[in-house]
Amino acid sequence: MKFCSSAALAAVITNVVGTVTFWYGGMDFAFLSLDDGRGVRLGLQRGERPDMNERIEATGELTRVEPDIRLENVTVRTLARDVEPPPRTEPRVADLYALTPETAHRYLNRPAALTVHVQDVNRRRAHVQLTVSDLDARRPTAIATFAYPEDRPLDPDLRRGAVLRLRCVPSALSRDGVIESVVFNMRGAYDIDILSRPPWWTPARILLALAFAALVLLAALGWGAVVTVQVRRARHAARAVAAERKRMAADLHDTIEQHLASAKLLLTCAQKPAGLPDETRSMIRQAEKVLIHAKSEVRATVMALRSDDVGQPLAAAIRAIEIPASVRRHLRLAALPERLDPGRQGDLLMIVREAIANALAHGRARSIALAADARADGFVLRILNDGAPFDAAAAPGPEAGHFGLAGMRDRAARSGFALSFVTEGRWTGVQLGGAV
């Protein structure tokens, strides 16, 4: 089939015979491959419905022959069905822009297969448009278009950066015989094979990751600054508390403890004169015992105030309690909490000191054991010794001038500890239970 030149066209009616290589239901155009290898774009009349791989005779108005051939108002007559489709060409995008009117028939309006790189993706109602280029260049670009339902999501890998294999029919938009843009016509997403998924590090994602990293860094710096300020304030407060504790310890030592020592000395002297009634002498001795206990309590308080054990981890503070080198000690303190409130920790340490002092002074213990166990709501601490058996119920109290057990009970009640006296085989001692 021969065509006249573009200059001689004047609504020439012509008919051509070939194989339908592109048509999709509802489209008003199709592509036809002639027996001589050239391709023709057919603008179909309403109601004309050629099918893929049909051999047809198309009759219509020849409107263009350069750079591609076009017929409009085409009617179709089917000659055969399911014929062998023509082979596909394999052009590059750059090849299509380099076509001239004399060479356009090599690729335009003919079935093709080509590998491209996706530059952009746009959805337009029931169609998708891809901006694509050759793999080794970003320019020139072509538009690949195909029908796609509006309510169906696209394949997430069909995006910028993907490498695709297209089965399509290239057509061209031209002016004065010069190709201005190229369009790859496809019927649907099934004409696309994704050869390579796009990398995750797209520019947008890299910017998002950098922005997120910057936010995390700023948050970390801000949090670090807040923590630094809090730590500095805590250290300042701790130094202030330590200084106040030492001042109080010095005041107690220089005043009350000295006065108690003087009072004891006076009571000792008061017992020397002969002829004192026995009742008076007994009361003086009782008062002397009270003063001795008060002096020991004040001394223990002074030592506690001077030490840093309230600010120390609880286990470390207990290990620091002095026990004579001749006495064996057994420690198992891992179950203790790291720290308690300063007031509670101070009371617990005073109870431990008193229990150890009683075991050494009254029980003549040769071994001291401190064992801690965890429980659901806190801990249990046992201060045991192997000295003389001890009966808390029969022990003398404040009325007899003995204040140790009473002081331990008072401190335990004040700090919410459960105080009891236990016997485990040859070991006796004190058990403390407390919540963390």
Assigned CATH topology for domain 312-436: Heat Shock Protein 90 (3.30.565)
3-state secondary structure 353-366: HHHHHHHHHCCCCC
pLDDT-derived band of residue 246, with 50, 70 and 90 as boundaries?
A: confident
238-247, 292-301, 303-312, 401-410: least confidently modelled range: 303-312
pLDDT-derived band of residue 308, with 50, 70 and 90 as boundaries?
A: low
Burial class of residue 324 in the structure, from the number of CB atoms within 10 Å of its CB (0-12 exposed, 13-18 middle, 19+ buried) = exposed
- CATH (one of 2.40.50.500, 2.60.120.10, 3.40.605.10, 3.40.50.300) for 1-86: 2.40.50.500
What is the length of the chain? 436
* Two tokens, residue 209: 């990751």
For residue 430, the one-letter residue type is V
Span 83-92, average pLDDT: 93
Distance CA 293, CA 403 (A): 7
Up-side HSE of residue 124: CA atoms within 13 Å toward CB? 9
Top-tier CATH class for 87-199: mainly beta
For 261-283, the pLDDT digits (tens) are: 777 777 777 777 777 787 877 78
Q: What 8-state DSSP symbol labels residue 33?
A: E
**Would the pLDDT of 132 be above 70?**
yes
Q: Give strand pairing partners of 29.
A: 43
**Would the pLDDT of 309 be above 60?**
no
Span 290-319, average pLDDT: 73
Of 6, 23, 26, the C-alpha closest to 109 is 23
Collapsing DSSP states into helix, strand and coil, what is residue 110? coil
166-170, 324-328, 404-408: least confidently modelled range: 404-408
* Two tokens, residue 236: 């300042």
Those residues whose C-beta lies under 8 Å from the C-beta of residue 324, and which sit 6 or more positions away, are 360
Distance CA 61, CA 15 (A): 9
For 187-213, the pLDDT digits (tens) are: 999 999 999 988 777 677 788 889 999
For 354-385, the pLDDT digits (tens) are: 888 888 888 888 999 999 999 888 999 999 99
